Amino acid sequence: MAAMNYKTLKARQRMERHSYPPNLALRVHRALSWLNRAEQLGDDRDSAFIFLWIAFNAAYATDIDEKYRPSERTLFRDFLQKLIGLDKSNSIQQLVWQEFSGSIRVLLDNPYIHQDFWNHRNGKLTKAEWLLNFAGANKAAGNALAKNDTATVLSIVLSRIYTLRNQLMHGGATWNGALNRDQIRDCTHILGKLVPRMIEIMMCNVDALWGDACYSVVNRGTGSTKPRAIRQRERGA
């Protein structure tokens, strides 16, 4: 499978963006900007992880009224199922079963990125309850692995990565701290491979329904919510 990175995707986006609908153009533009920054960070895995998560969020998040909003796990699974269905080259399945298989099993066995471990530590669950939930979640993941259920496996993995995201974004970890190196390494590796493939699939399927991006652009002086590139195209610029 050919390498996929910001440089490759940006070159393609520049050639094709005139044909993208506004919501997709905005998603791809934003996601690529954060992917670019993540790829510049070298050994700073904490920062790379954060920027890769923002790139992932820019690509997948949809503006939904909170009272109708499902769980993040459900959102992850629905989005991944859609991507996999549109992935004519099966690139995501190849990532999961060829490149991620070892990392995924290590992540699933890591208690520190399972939210119920922290719920137990904070007195919300008993030790027995936490261990039962952990065993049940890993059994479900094992069943999905055995069935080659790519969407379910990845949605479970992303729910663990989401816990790590919360730890970092809410100040629950130390930058370059010694205590979380394994999960930072594995999660950054997975996002670093997955995010470019996600963006590529979206660019290959401009007619798919991606929904409204969160926080639409408001151009000062015009009041328009259209990205500048879209307005320039409409004016023939």
- Computed over every residue of the chain, the mean pLDDT equals 86
- In this predicted structure, the answer to whether residue 177 has a pLDDT above a threshold of 50 is yes
Phi, psi of 200 (to 5 degrees): -60, -45
Structure tokens at 165: 């995201």
- Per-residue confidence (pLDDT) for residue 213, from 0 to 100: 81
Query: Is the separation of the CB atoms in 120 and 150 below 8 Å?
Result: no
Query: Is the separation of the CB atoms in 164 and 183 below 8 Å?
Result: yes
- Share of residues in the chain with pLDDT > 90 (%): 59
- In this predicted structure, the answer to whether residue 65 has a pLDDT above a threshold of 70 is no
pLDDT greater at residue 211 or residue 236: 211
In this predicted model, what pLDDT tens digit does every residue of 3-25 receive, in sequence order?
A: 789 999 999 999 999 999 999 99
In this predicted model, what pLDDT tens digit does every residue of 28-54 receive, in sequence order?
A: 999 999 999 999 998 899 999 999 999
* Residues contacting residue 135 through CB under 8 Å, at least 6 positions apart: none
- Per-residue confidence (pLDDT) for residue 166, from 0 to 100: 93
- Share of residues in the chain with pLDDT > 70 (%): 86
148: left (phi over 0), alpha (psi -120 to 50) or beta: left
- In this predicted structure, the answer to whether residue 196 has a pLDDT above a threshold of 50 is yes
- Per-residue confidence (pLDDT) for residue 228, from 0 to 100: 56
DSSP H helices in 40-126: 45-60, 72-86, 91-94, 101-108, 115-121
User: To 5 degrees, how large is the angle CA 153–CA 4–CA 13?
Assistant: 110
* Residues contacting residue 101 through CB under 8 Å, at least 6 positions apart: none
Query: Is the separation of the CB atoms in 27 and 213 below 8 Å?
Result: yes
- In this predicted structure, the answer to whether residue 195 has a pLDDT above a threshold of 70 is yes
State the Cα–Cα distance between residues 113 and 166, nearest whole angstrom: 10
In this predicted model, what pLDDT tens digit does every residue of 93-113 receive, in sequence order?
A: 999 998 888 888 888 999 999
Query: Is the separation of the CB atoms in 200 and 91 below 8 Å?
Result: yes
Split at pLDDT 50, 70, 90, the class of 68 is very low
Split at pLDDT 50, 70, 90, the class of 236 is very low
Predicted TM-score (pTM) of this structure: 0.86
161: left (phi over 0), alpha (psi -120 to 50) or beta: alpha
State the Cα–Cα distance between residues 167 and 171, nearest whole angstrom: 6
